[in-house]
Amino acid sequence: QLQQVHVGRMESRPPNVEGKGAVTQRDCLRNALRMRPDRIIVGETRGEEVIDMLQAMNTGHDGSMTTIHANNPRDAISRLENMVAMAGIEMPLKAVRSQIASAVNLMVQASRLQDGTRRMTSVTEITGMEGEVISMQEVFRFERLGVEPSGKIIGRFNATGIRSAFSDRFRQWGFDLPASIYEPTI
């Protein structure tokens, strides 16, 4: 839970029976930007508002967050690319990918497991662009260890052994993470 004192909430709504009064998620995001926020959190990005969200993330709104439905972090990137294309913005794919790579630092995947529980299953860092491809590295992942007789999945969240470049930013913000956090448990 965020501990900010000043929080403004906005909510989209459909048009009334006369087709008037609609407030889109994009309207909310644009109005939020006019308020000069430190951070923007969008409950779910699923349409043309992705353009405004990426621009906000690229223009000094560090710590902004959103959710997106996808099978894995790589698919989430593809979904973002598709949403930009569906917004009708004519932009070369490399430019779209560059915007995404610049805006998104970390992707945290939550999945529903076969036993019905939800677990964080991956923390993936976006490291930039390599040619025309967004480069990513998984820093932590959920490892399934077995299943209890009741059907409950047994597992643990484990480091992959890759040290996140993002840890330097954590240090700048006053969080000195020990190097051991990136060492996998065997």
- In the chain, where are the structural domains located? 21-104, 109-186
pLDDT value at 15 more than 90 = yes
Helices 49-57 and 93-103 cross at an angle (nearest 10°) of: 50
Residue 166's nearest CA partner among 78, 62, 39 is: 62
CA distance 131 to 117: 39
CA distance 27 to 16: 16
Task: Specify the pLDDT at position 168.
Answer: 85
At the topology level of CATH, where does 21-104 sit? Rossmann fold (3.40.50)
Task: Specify the pLDDT at position 94.
Answer: 95
pTM: 0.87
Task: Specify the pLDDT at position 4.
Answer: 78
CA distance 67 to 159: 23
Q: What is the pLDDT of residues 63-72, one digit of tens each?
A: 899 999 999 9
Q: What is the 3-state secondary structure (H, E, C) of the chain?
A: CCCCCCCCCCCCECCCCCCCCCECHHHHHHHHHHCCCCCCEECCCCCCHHHHHHHHHCCCCCCCEECCCCCCHHHHHHHHHHHHHHCCCCCCHHHHHHHHHHHCCEEEEEEECCCCCEEEEEEEEEEEEECCEEEEEEEEEEEEEEECCCCCEEEEEEECCCCCCCHHHHHHCCCCCCHHHHCCCC
Task: Specify the pLDDT at position 175.
Answer: 87
Q: What is the pLDDT of residues 78-119, one digit of tens each?
A: 999 999 999 888 899 999 999 999 999 999 999 999 999 999
Task: Specify the pLDDT at position 114.
Answer: 95
Provide the percentage of residues in the chain whose pLDDT is more than 90. Answer: 69
Task: Specify the pLDDT at position 171.
Answer: 87
Task: Specify the pLDDT at position 177.
Answer: 85
Mean pLDDT computed over 132-139: 97
